[in-house]
Structure 1
Amino acid sequence: MKLFTLPNFITLGNLICGCLGIIMVLNCEFTNASIMMLIALILDFLDGFVARLLKISSEIGKQLDSLADVVTFGVLPSLIIYKLLENSALEPSYLKYTAFIMAAASALRLAKFNIDTRQSDSFIGLPTPANGMVVATFPFLINDYGKLGEIVNNPWILIGYVFVFSFLLNAEIPLFALKFKKFGWKENQMKYIFLLSCVLLILAFQLAAVPLIILIYVLLSLAISKKTRK
């Protein structure tokens, strides 16, 4: 059993970023925690990319990836929302604990992913890194985006987000995966168009584009699925 492979080391980097992010949230360093999550997102993409490039595949790598993602894209985003709710004027205050519904939904989604044979080349339900990516933008939006930041920081908006995205994580919604077995245009036309759209949206709207990108991702996946079924 090969434990110490390059993809596994990259995955462990993802996990360490999640742990550091948790410490930063507890110290109310929200933007630094978000930066850790964004670094982890890059590592989460790289571990699979490197594994396919080197043709290294193992069951332990698959399990390790999910365990790391539970921490980085399950617990850490939930803790960010929990602390934002704790710092708000939310009444009754115990509603702040609803943030951890998202951590539970993320763990359930990742456990299901590991045994669901339908998800080898695509996803059923929103991937946890996509949810983490949205939450990672919240501290920046709150600090730098005026009215939009006020909307994001509204405790009822945050609670609504938790419930909606907890549902999306485990919904029976087919979503395409940004996995490249080959890099030709014909095989990956939709993926390249989506990635180009992401770049253009980020250039135009900076971090405010991220929630919009996830919305487009879900809608585009539904359109592809509907077209495939016809």
Structure 2
Amino acid sequence: MKSIIPNSLTALNLFCGCIAVLSFLCEENLLGIILVFVAAIADFFDGFVARLLKAQSELGKQLDSLADMVSFGFVPGTILYVALLKTTNYSDFSELIENNEYIPFIGFLVTVFSGFRLAKFNIDTRQSTSFIGVPTPANTLFFLTIPLIWLNMEPTDFIFKVISNPSVLIVTTLLFSYLLIAEIPLIALKFKGVGLKENVFRYVLIVSGIICTILLTYLAIPVILVFYILLSIIENISAKKE
């Protein structure tokens, strides 16, 4: 019976992901953004609650991956599909098919590679305390910046024009599809102590993240993620030299 609580949180994650997909397809971007954040919160707490109640189960593990596939796999693919659709002269799926225009479907490569990422995570014992490759929730937050820009900027703004460029969108899609499954160990955010020497990269990441958030607000999301990846690469190189 204890498993009902964490599994309910996982189900909430899945439910929010489903409605978020519809929201972005209908250009209800604010609702979609809120639902993704609710899904992310539910995704964080389902595992935490399961461990707290000692209610971990194989069902919960599999359900969690399936929920993540929707909320953090299908959702970013949908965002990219809509973003690429806006760069064409067509307004919906049927017009794309009728006119043999398939470029917007490239966005769903992120969905495909998210599936590989989640499957890999489930069987990779190396990722019990840290991540190898970009986690799907972090990847989704990166692409959530696109609808945030749609809501907060004008089409004449430089950044709005950048995310409206199909080449930029396609290259970003391919890059982050690769990063999902890349053999890049990322900095573990769990502290085993408070000493500066063993946590210097963690402290740099946290302080930089706070400063970026204050200065850039929602635009800090992609900046922090890119910095996190670069900092992890630097830490790996530094560790190999020692």
TM-score, normalised relative to structure 1: 0.88
Q: Distance in 1 between matches of 2:35 and 2:20?
A: 6
Deviation at 1:90, TM superposition (A): 6.9
Deviations 1:98-143 (A, max 9, x none): 1111100000110011001111111111101111001111111133
Q: Is the 8 A contact 1:143 1:149 kept in 2?
A: no
Deviations 1:186-216 (A, max 9, x none): 4866545533432321111011111110011
Q: Distance in 2 between matches of 1:104 and 1:23?
A: 19
Deviation at 1:154, TM superposition (A): 1.5
Counterpart check, 1:81 vs 2:80: yes
Deviations 1:151-188 (A, max 9, x none): 112222111111000000011111134356x7x53486
Q: Is the 8 A contact 1:34 1:136 kept in 2?
A: yes
Q: Quote the sequence identity (%).
A: 43
Q: Distance in 1 between matches of 2:41 and 2:200?
A: 22
Q: Is the 8 A contact 1:106 1:166 kept in 2?
A: yes
Counterpart check, 1:139 vs 2:140: no
Q: What aligned pairs does 1:210-221 form with structure 2 within 5 A after superposition?
A: 210-221=221-232
Q: Which residue of 2 aligns with 1:227?
A: 238
Deviations 1:38-74 (A, max 9, x none): 2212222222333333444322222221111100011
Deviations 1:79-105 (A, max 9, x none): 111012112237983111111111000
Counterpart check, 1:207 vs 2:215: no
Counterpart check, 1:167 vs 2:178: yes
Q: Distance in 2 between matches of 1:55 and 1:177?
A: 23
In structure 2, the CA distance between the partners of 1:227 and 1:49, relative to structure 1 (3 Å rule), is farther
Which ranges of structure 1 fall in alignment gaps of 5 or more residues? none
Please state whether the residue corresponding to 1:93 is helix, strand or coil: coil
User: 4+ residue runs of structure 1 moved beyond 6 angstroms?
Assistant: none
Q: Distance in 1 between matches of 2:101 and 2:169?
A: 14
Which ranges of structure 2 fall in alignment gaps of 5 or more residues? 91-99
TM-score, normalised relative to structure 2: 0.84
2:123 aligns with one of 115, 121, 133 = 115
Structure of higher CA gyration radius: 2
Q: Is the 8 A contact 1:142 1:153 kept in 2?
A: no
Q: What aligned pairs does 1:25-104 form with structure 2 within 5 A after superposition?
A: 25-89=24-88, 93-104=101-112
Q: Is the 8 A contact 2:129 2:188 kept in 1?
A: yes
Q: Is the 8 A contact 2:86 2:164 kept in 1?
A: no
Q: Distance in 2 between matches of 1:214 and 1:207?
A: 12
Aligned-partner residue type, residue 107 of structure 2: A
Aligned-partner residue type, residue 210 of structure 1: I
Q: Is the 8 A contact 1:90 1:155 kept in 2?
A: no
